[in-house]
Amino acid sequence: MPTEASSSAAREAVVAALRDVEHVPGAKKPDPILVADDVRRNFGGVNAVDVDHLEVQRGAITALIGPNGAGKTTLFNLLTGFDRPSSGRWTFDGRSLGGVSAARVARAGMIRTFQLTKALNRMTVIENMRLGATTQPGENLFAALVPPVWRSREQEITTQAEELLARFKLDTKRDDFAGSLSGGQRKLLEMARALMARPRMIMLDEPMAGVNPALTQSLLGHIQALRDDGTTVLFVEHDMHMVRHISDWVVVMTEGRIVAEGPPDSVMNNPAVIDAYLGAHHDTDLGDDALLDDAVLDSLRSEEESR
C-alpha cells in the first residue's frame, strides 16, 4: 500500500501533468495511454457512440459521466473488445487494439470490471478471484502438458488471489458464495478480481452503485491507491460526489458524443454539462449527497483540505 506521502506525490504529478491541458472535448494529453479516433457504434439508426477523439492520461483517475443512455457503457464495451464498433480505431499504450477480442485486450493490460452474474454468484469468492487471472495454465500447451508447471502457476494464482482478498478485507469471505456478499463487498470483489490480471488500466463500471456509506470510504481509498501505484483508472459513475472528490479529469458524454472535458470543478460548472443533465432528467442534482453520509463527507473534506 502506498504511504500518504507517495499518495499525494502521485496525485500532484498527475495534476501538474494535466495543468496545461485545454478544457475542451477531445483535448490532447501530455502522456495518453489510450488514444481513440472516430469511434462510432450504431444501433438501428441510433448513434450510441459517436466519438471523434479521446485521450486518457496515463496514471490519472478519469471519470466518464453523462446522463442515462449517453453511450458510456457502449464505449466501455467497444474499447474492451466486448462489442464491435461500426467504425473507429484506438491504441492502448501505442498498440492498436480496435476490433481486437476481449481476451487480447485483457492480455494487453486493459481490464474492466463486471457485475457479478448469476453464475458467478454461485461460485465462491476465491473461485471468482481465480477466474480473474488472464493466463490460465490451459492457455499454454507446453504448460498444460507439464503438470509441475501448471501446478506451480495454479499456486501462484491462488497466492495472488489471497493477497488481494486480504488487501480488500475479503479474506474472511474466501470460501463464501459470492452471492452472499453485501452490495459493497461485491463491488470490492469485482475490483479485486479485475486486479488479478495486473492491469495497466482498469475500467470501473459504476463502482459506487449499491454501496452503503460504511464501505464508500474504503472503495474510494482503494481506487486512489490504484492511481498511487501507477495504474490508470477510467470509471463510469453517476454519483457526482464521488466524481468530484476522486477524479483528476472528467469526460462528459451525451447522445454518444463527448461534449466537455476538464478537471471536476470546471466541468461541473460548465453550462453545457448542466444543460445535458437537466435536459435529460430534471431530478439529477450534480451535488447529490444521497450516497455519502456526513461522516464520510467530513473525512473527504479534511482529506481535500490537507492536499
Ligand X SMILES: Nc1ncnc2c1ncn2[C@@H]1O[C@H](COP(=O)(O)OP(=O)(O)OP(=O)(O)O)[C@@H](O)[C@H]1O
Binding site for ligand X (CB under 6 A): 43, 46, 48, 66, 68-74
Which H, E and C letters describe 112-175, residue by residue? Answer: ECCCCCHHHHCCEHHHHHHHCCCCCHHHCHHHHHCHHHHHHHHHHHHHHHHHHHHHCCCHHHCC
| Nearer to ligand X among residue 83 and residue 176 (C-beta) | 83
Q: How far is the CB of 66 from ligand X (least distance, A)?
A: 5
Q: How far is the CB of 222 from ligand X (least distance, A)?
A: 22
Task: Copy the grid coordinates of residue 50.
Answer: 459517436
Q: How far is the CB of 109 from ligand X (least distance, A)?
A: 23
Q: How many CB atoms lie within 10 A of CB 195?
A: 23
Which residue's C-alpha cell is 450516497? 291
| Nearer to ligand X among residue 32 and residue 67 (C-beta) | 67
Q: How far is the CB of 41 from ligand X (least distance, A)?
A: 8
Q: How far is the CB of 155 from ligand X (least distance, A)?
A: 39
Q: How far is the CB of 247 from ligand X (least distance, A)?
A: 17
| Nearer to ligand X among residue 126 and residue 204 (C-beta) | 204
User: How far is CA 110 from each of CA 23, 69, 100, rounded to the nearest angstrom?
Assistant: 25, 24, 12
Using CB atoms within 10 A of its CB, is residue 2 exposed (0-12), middle (13-18) or buried (19+)? middle
| 232-236/201-205 β-pairing | parallel
| Nearer to ligand X among residue 71 and residue 132 (C-beta) | 71
Which residue's C-alpha cell is 463510469? 236
| Nearer to ligand X among residue 108 and residue 236 (C-beta) | 236
Q: How far is the CB of 168 from ligand X (least distance, A)?
A: 25
| Nearer to ligand X among residue 46 and residue 290 (C-beta) | 46
Length of the chain: 307
Burial 33-49, CB ≥16 within 10 A → b, else e? bbbbbebbbeeeeebbb
| Nearer to ligand X among residue 194 and residue 251 (C-beta) | 251
Strand arrangement of the beta sheet that strand 95-96 belongs to:
46-57, 32-43, 87-92, 95-96
Q: How far is the CB of 73 from ligand X (least distance, A)?
A: 3
| Nearer to ligand X among residue 160 and residue 284 (C-beta) | 284
Burial 67-85, CB ≥16 within 10 A → b, else e? bebbbbbbbbbbbbbebeb
Question: Among positive and negative, which fits the CA dihedral 228, 229, 235, 241?
Answer: negative
